[in-house]
Chains A and B, each alone.
Chain A
Amino acid sequence: MCVYLQSGMAIFFYMDNDATKAIVAAFYDTADLIVREIRTEWVKADLIFIDAMTDSQQIDLNLIRPLSEYRGEKLDYDGIKGVATTGCAIRLTDVDDGIKSVSSGDAVLILEGQVIVFGVRKGNVRAISEPPTSLVVKGPREGFVEDLKTNMVLLRRRIRSNKLIFMSLTAGRFTETNIVVAFVKGIAKEDIVEKVTNRIKAVDTDGIVDSSAISKILEPRPYSLFKQLGNTEKPDVVADKLLDGRVAILVDGSPIAITLPFLLIEDVQVTQDSYNRNSRATFLRLMRVFAIFFALILPASYVAVQMHQYQILPLQLLITVLNASEGIPFSPIIEMLVALVFFEILGEASVRMPRHVGMALSVVGAIVLGDTAVKAGMLSSVTVLIVAISGIGIYTVPDEVGVISVLRMMLVIVGGLLGIYGILLSVIAVVAYLTSIDCYGVSYLSPFAPIEDESLRRSIVQYNLTDKPYRDPALGLFNKKRLIINK
């Protein structure tokens, strides 16, 4: 006999139970595939599952034992539902689906040629904990885990509405990764949901092992220096964004959720802000913007001033700079690049190192090496100071660290070649590039360009919930009203 699977594979077999043989053959005798024959006077069935992916206790107690101990009429699908004591039993019409179910960790029972799936997956999921990438002083500490269903529950707990829709997709020929597109029906723009699902469906690849791969598929400009999708490990952040009309994408095996459309200003706003007084939160947001700006500009400006426009410095400051850089064997541009590269290597090493060693390395790098470099006359103290200020400033917006550090290097080179004029031109070029990016119909620099009056106010100034009657107009939603106060 020959069975043609949907995947195009043809399987030949000559044994008693056709479906069992088809599934076994499809797994090419893999070591972890278990076929448990149940052969009694009343039941002749094969139970197929993958070892360690299934809950062996459930299989023993709820399937094998009741089936083995069954005494009665010949069993069929309806009959077995009364015998097996697992929660979920589904009859399949296709052997291919049986193979997929076994791959996913379910147990498949072949009974009289019928394929019945039992949901007995093992629930060994990492405990919900505070994500290390977004630690908070105050606020929810739950973070997403690698299990998709747990992540869906975390969202469902926050939005207990039938309007919260999880649209399920599968991607990856080998990985068969489950992907969920989450949105709130009636708030999110359905054309964005459609675009997202179409883009994911259009990609036929070997495998999707993490949400970063989906990001690259969904980003309008995947090779851009700037990230164009939001990502977070925190369900409270995702829930908030869903209520704002955004769409979230969860990928099985990844604790990082993707949100879109994404605006650059989102990285400046953090959940912690809502726990601060409004004035404090607004002040902190402004400080983040200034910190990023200075982190970006300061090293390049210092190089440009030293190499080209030293005359713009007041005399006192010029003397300080000249004294500090006296005897340094490198040109200002090389000196700054060396310091920045050194800083980047230090940062990368402390991330990769085991936690405690990394901590020690940071201290050694920041204090001992910096001081030694200055004393040895390799780097000037002003250069070390500027790199340190820039290095601290960059981390006020952690999600943009990668972008800023690359841009910072580029600006230093331009500042060294063309002076302050080059820096200004480069800033204009970067801004021009950013203004040209549209993420799912929304300008990346919105609400600043184009100006959206309503969202402009709240982008920097922190408002109370009761002072935000409308959803972000920059997103162009149809359902704009957010707040109704019953008097």
Chain B
Amino acid sequence: MNYLTKNQLAIIIFFLPLVFKMSMLPSLLYETSGADSYFAIGLITAIEFLQMWLVLYVVDKGGIAGIKELYGKAVAIAISLPFFLVMGLKSVLFVTEIYVYVGDYLFYNVSFMPLIVSLLIIVCYLASKGAKTIGRIFELSVWLIPIIILLGVLFGKVKLYPQYLTPLFDNGFGTVIKGIDKYIIYAFDFSPLLFFRVEKKKNVRVLIGSLACVIAVVSCYIVLIASYGRATFLITDAFAHLASFNVVISEIGSLDWPSAILWLTTSIGNVALKISAMSDILAEMKIKKNAGAFVLTLAIGLIIIFLTKGFDPILDFATGPVKYVVIGIEILAPIIILALYAVKKKEVRLEAAN
């Protein structure tokens, strides 16, 4: 149920960091970092991939399941709880972003309650099915990329103004650092992988997936800035705007179906992966996975409906001091797990020597 093949892993690694960096973040980052925002997002993604290799190294050692085997359930739960909180926070942020993005920009005339309820039903269903099903969903999503590229190549009319990208660091490197600092919460999406089993083979595809992701993210920011210039901060639906470069849509309607499906599918998959990992943690506490996924999705829904009331409050909270806690957990916790593995290995070696 929670097993990913090497193809699925590579594809998930491509999509996980991409999807939420391509919706509202370009406009937010442009407000902070200006024309250098593509540089800022490049660094954010690079940092994210450094952490990804750390996570994959831990997964290769056995992940959280290995800690449970070596140290018992209590230690595994204790190590998992910080991840639980981080994934919970990011799930609330991302679900909010999905409904704002969908309801305000992608489709009009969809009221809030049906939108959020139907969205959460799908997320809950996917989360309860586990990594295998989510991995397959991501695999199917890949087929939309060549269609989008084909439409773009055949019907694309893009006017790029490279001068919008220069001069680099016009306002100094400080704005880049400020952008990275403020929106670093958008990095570190790989911690759910710690809770899944992954096919162990020498995997060049993971490397290709991660490189392709960095290139895709940075080049999309470059294209957006080079097209819209200072108006980029108004582009709150980046993915749709990128897709709308193809003129075929003006013939059959102003909606680029492949890109809308791709974004919606991968964003739902991203959140479902987190909730699935969280429900696995709950499963260690004797709560069945399906029930766990339902309770978590319900909790996220209630938080969004009754507490956060819109995207700005949750974004302010996530980009506030809490982001440093998130960074701390995302970097330190895998290192602690590795240390625990090393200690146990040493103990075993000493026992063998004695």
Contacts and interface: CB of A to CB of B under 8 A. Distances in A.
Interface string B112-140: 00110011011001100100110111011
B136 A449 contact: yes
A313 interface: yes
Contacts of B265: 428, 431
A445 B253 contact: no
A432 B137 contact: yes
Interface in B1-50: 5, 7-8
B102 interface: yes
Contact of A450 (B102, B109, B139, B251): B139
A393 B202 CA distance: 44
A449 B118 contact: no
B264 interface: yes
Given A314-B251, A314-B253, A427-B261, A309 B109 contact: yes
A309 B255 contact: yes
Interface size band for A: 20 to 34
B143 interface: yes
A419 B254 CA distance: 15
Interface residues of B, number: 37
Contacts of B65: none
A176 B333 CA distance: 64
B122 A418 contact: no
A435 B140 contact: yes
A259 interface: no
B306 interface: no
Contacts of B126: 432
B125 A429 contact: yes
Describe B's contact surface by its main secondary structure: helix
B119 A425 contact: yes
B260 interface: yes
Contacts of A422: 110, 114, 118
A432 B261 contact: no
A428 B109 contact: no
Given A428-B122, A443-B136, A450-B136, A421 B106 contact: yes
B137 A308 contact: no
Nearest to A422: B118
B254 A312 contact: yes
Given A312-B255, A424-B264, A450-B139, A432 B122 contact: yes
Contact of B139 (A308, A314, A421, A448): A448
Contacts of B108: 308-309, 311
Given A421-B102, A421-B115, A448-B143, A314 B250 contact: yes
B231 to A, nearest CB: 22
Interface in B121-165: 121-122, 125-126, 129, 132-133, 135-137, 139-140, 143
Contacts of A435: 129, 133, 136-137, 140
A384 B42 CA distance: 52
Contacts of B102: 421
A431 B122 contact: no
Interface in A293-329: 305, 308-309, 311-314, 317
Interface string B239-262: 000000000001111110000110
Contacts of B135: 450
A445 B136 contact: yes
Interface string A430-453: 011101100000010100111100
A305 B253 contact: yes
A306 to B, nearest CB: 12
Nearest to A437: B133
A431 B140 CA distance: 9
A346 interface: no
Interface centre among B110, B114, B268 (most CB of A within 10 A): B110
Given A308-B107, A443-B136, 12 more contacts: A305-B253, A308-B108, A308-B110, A311-B108, A418-B115, A421-B107, A427-B261, A428-B265, A435-B140, A436-B129, A436-B132, A449-B136
22 contacts: A308-B108, A311-B108, A313-B253, A314-B251, A317-B253, A417-B114, A418-B110, A420-B107, A421-B102, A421-B106, A422-B114, A424-B260, A428-B122, A429-B125, A431-B265, A432-B122, A432-B125, A432-B133, A435-B136, A435-B140, A445-B140, A450-B7
Interface of B: 5, 7-8, 102, 106-110, 114-115, 118-119, 121-122, 125-126, 129, 132-133, 135-137, 139-140, 143, 250-255, 260-261, 264-265, 268
Interface of A: 305, 308-309, 311-314, 317, 417-422, 424-425, 427-429, 431-433, 435-436, 443, 445, 448-451
